[in-house]
């Protein structure tokens, strides 16, 4: 707890930085006269002292431009309402939201690094970073652990992948606000049963598209998800990047059989480098099933497409989650407690659910999904998908295994190597020091 002089100094600094400071309710300063007994008619009346006005603590929240509450969108209006409701609910606590670039010079992570050295007094109490930047900030010591600051039952409402996303090492350093994942969308008239297994996709004979072209020589999440769903690992017991040959061979064999059956077109899929290309292929009739980005799917008009998990060997739902995560910067114990009040307020289901749905980001708490307005089949699908999701791998791991996996996919789709040979070469390439 800060001393009174320190609190007064903090207020003065905030006034200089912001030019204004929300004030709490003041006690009327007009003195109240108390009459004395009649036996002392000549005594001068005394005034009761004015009670001190409570100081208002301003919590500072940094957010990326995409999540600005000042934009002219439905999502921005919903967030602004939640922040204003928080302010109205507090007597001596208010929140100030500052907008910054998401990445690069002058971005959120860059500002954190710079301010921590040159001007610690301007650091925020809470900051919203993407998953990769959250991990970098935590490893650089720019974030404070949240362990023990959030109620256990509150943390238990998080999906398992969200807890995984918020952990760096053994510490919880963030809580994901909303995530994007990959799943498939398909035209239901083309399938007798939902195509959730490789066998179902191959037997239907309907064109399947995924971003086989990768991006900058690194494989797309679709193949990573298929590989993980087949039982593969991306790291060994010591945490070093590695690949398992058997499950990778199985995934590549699915691709090879898809080419042989006319379900996967090498020229079409290798030309697609992102899920947007798959979406367009679905709309223009090039495909009956394809990988889609969850945000694209859940903000699009109802076109009649049906969602499903990416097809896997067993039919088990697996996907990878990445998105915006809120981290704790404040080091003072009292401010940490206050910051957690704000964090939990932002995740209150009645506000959090509509906000994430308007943005198209999937919620990271079960209570948030319960507040989505969707039909029951969609809700059941999302529950299954989120329960089976995993945190996206660290960028360093992705860079270590991604090129080898991309080369294997290209070699199999073009017929240059068998699935077994391509898998062997990929695992050997990653294993090399």
Q: pLDDT tens digits for 204-240?
A: 999 999 999 999 999 999 999 999 999 999 999 998 9
Q: What is the mean pLDDT of residues 86-115?
A: 95
Out of 5-14, 40-49, 292-301, 339-348, pick the least confident.
5-14
The C-alpha atoms of residue 365 and residue 383 are separated, in whole angstroms, by 10
Confidence of residue 432 (pLDDT cuts 50, 70, 90): confident
101 phi/psi in degrees, rounded to 5:
-60, 150
Q: What is the mean pLDDT of residues 81-104?
A: 95
Out of 28-32, 71-75, 265-269, pick the least confident.
28-32
Write down the architecture of domain 57-179+323-370 according to CATH. 3-Layer(aba) Sandwich (3.40)
- Please determine, for residue 342, whether its predicted confidence score (pLDDT) is greater than 80: yes
Q: Choose between 127 and 17: higher pLDDT.
A: 127
The pLDDT of residue 54 is 54
Confidence of residue 55 (pLDDT cuts 50, 70, 90): confident
- Please determine, for residue 392, whether its predicted confidence score (pLDDT) is greater than 50: yes
The pLDDT of residue 44 is 45
CA gyration radius, the chain: 27
The answer to whether 406 and 252 are in contact (CB under 8 A) is no
User: Is residue 162 classed exposed, middle or buried when 0-12, 13-18 and 19+ CB atoms within 10 A define those classes?
Assistant: buried
The pLDDT of residue 171 is 94
The pLDDT of residue 3 is 40
The C-alpha atoms of residue 229 and residue 399 are separated, in whole angstroms, by 20
Confidence of residue 433 (pLDDT cuts 50, 70, 90): low
The pLDDT of residue 56 is 87
Confidence of residue 41 (pLDDT cuts 50, 70, 90): very low
- Please determine, for residue 11, whether its predicted confidence score (pLDDT) is greater than 80: no
Out of 73-77, 252-256, 290-294, 429-433, pick the least confident.
429-433
- Please determine, for residue 4, whether its predicted confidence score (pLDDT) is greater than 80: no
For the chain, the average pLDDT equals 89
Domain 182-321+377-431 has CATH 3.40.190.10: yes
Per residue in 405-427, pLDDT tens?
999 999 999 999 999 999 999 99
Cα dihedral: 283, 388, 143, 328 (round 10)? 80
The answer to whether 203 and 214 are in contact (CB under 8 A) is no
The pLDDT of residue 12 is 37
Pair of tokens at residue 199: 């066998």
Q: What is the mean pLDDT of residues 14-25?
A: 37
**Percent of the chain, pLDDT > 90?**
85
Residue 365, CA distances (Å) to 71, 213, 259, 373, 388 in order: 25, 33, 39, 15, 14
The C-alpha atoms of residue 200 and residue 3 are separated, in whole angstroms, by 68
pTM: 0.85
The pLDDT of residue 25 is 36
Question: If DSSP codes are grouped into helix, strand and coil, which group holds residue 293?
Answer: strand
Strands 319-328 vs 126-130: parallel, antiparallel or unpaired: antiparallel
Residue 23, CA distances (Å) to 51, 57, 87, 90, 133 in order: 15, 9, 11, 11, 35
Closest CA to 169 of 239, 240, 243, 237: 239
Residue 48, CA distances (Å) to 28, 31, 341 in order: 11, 6, 36
Strands 57-64 vs 93-100: parallel, antiparallel or unpaired: parallel
The C-alpha atoms of residue 127 and residue 105 are separated, in whole angstroms, by 16
Beta bridge partners of 10: none
For the chain, domain boundaries: 57-179+323-370, 182-321+377-431
The pLDDT of residue 33 is 36
Domains 57-179+323-370 and 182-321+377-431 share a fold: yes
Q: What is the mean pLDDT of residues 275-300?
A: 97
Closest CA to 291 of 361, 392, 220, 217: 220
The pLDDT of residue 21 is 35
Beta bridge partners of 365: 158
Residue 96, CA distances (Å) to 21, 103, 150, 256, 342 in order: 10, 21, 22, 55, 11
The pLDDT of residue 168 is 94
Q: What is the mean pLDDT of residues 168-175?
A: 94
- Please determine, for residue 34, whether its predicted confidence score (pLDDT) is greater than 90: no
């Amino acid at each position: 707890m800060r001393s009174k002089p320190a609190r007064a100094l903090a207020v003065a600094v905030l006034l200089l930085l912001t030019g204004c400071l929300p004030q709490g309710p003041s006690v009327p300063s007009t003195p109240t006269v108390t009459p004395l007994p009649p036996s002392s008619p000549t005594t001068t009346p005394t005034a009761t002292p004015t009670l001190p006005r409570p100081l208002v603590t301003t919590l500072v929240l940094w957010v990326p431009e995409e999540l600005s509450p000042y934009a002219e969108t439905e999502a921005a209006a919903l967030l602004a309402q939640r922040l204003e409701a928080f302010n109205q609910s507090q007597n001596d606590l208010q929140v100030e939201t500052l907008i910054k670039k998401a990445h690069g010079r002058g971005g959120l992570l860059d500002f954190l690094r710079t301010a921590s050295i040159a001007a610690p007094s301007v650091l925020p109490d809470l900051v919203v970073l993407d998953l990769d930047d959250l991990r970098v900030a935590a490893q650089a010591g720019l974030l404070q652990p949240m362990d023990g600051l959030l109620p256990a039952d509150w943390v238990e409402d998080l999906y398992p992948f969200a807890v995984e996303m918020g952990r760096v090492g053994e510490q919880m350093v963030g809580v994901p606000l909303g995530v994007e994942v990959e799943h498939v969308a398909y035209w239901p008239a083309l399938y007798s049963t939902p195509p959730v297994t490789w066998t179902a996709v191959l037997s239907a004979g309907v064109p399947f598209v995924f971003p086989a072209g990768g991006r900058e020589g690194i494989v797309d999440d679709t193949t990573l998800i298929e590989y993980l769903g087949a039982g593969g690992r991306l790291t060994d017991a010591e945490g070093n990047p590695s690949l398992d040959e058997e499950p990778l061979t199985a995934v590549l064999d699915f691709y090879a059989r898809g080419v042989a059956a006319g379900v996967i077109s090498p020229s079409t899929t290798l030309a697609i480098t992102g899920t947007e290309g798959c979406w367009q292929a679905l709309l223009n009739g090039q495909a009956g099933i394809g990988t889609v980005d969850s945000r694209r799917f859940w903000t699009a008009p109802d076109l009649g497409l049906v969602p499903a998990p990416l097809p896997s060997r067993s039919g088990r739902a697996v996907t990878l989650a990445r998105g915006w995560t809120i981290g704790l910067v404040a080091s003072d114990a009292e401010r940490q407690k206050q910051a957690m009040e704000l964090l939990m307020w932002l995740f209150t289901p009645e506000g959090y659910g509509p906000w994430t749905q308007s943005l198209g980001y999937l919620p990271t708490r079960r209570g948030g999904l319960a507040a989505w307005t969707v039909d029951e089949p969609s809700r059941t699908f999302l529950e299954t998908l989120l329960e089976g999701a995993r945190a996206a791998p660290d960028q360093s791991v992705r860079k270590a295994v991604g090129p080898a996996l991309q080369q294997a996919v290209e070699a199999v789709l073009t017929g240059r190597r068998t699935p077994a040979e391509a898998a062997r070469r990929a695992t050997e390439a990653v294993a090399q020091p």
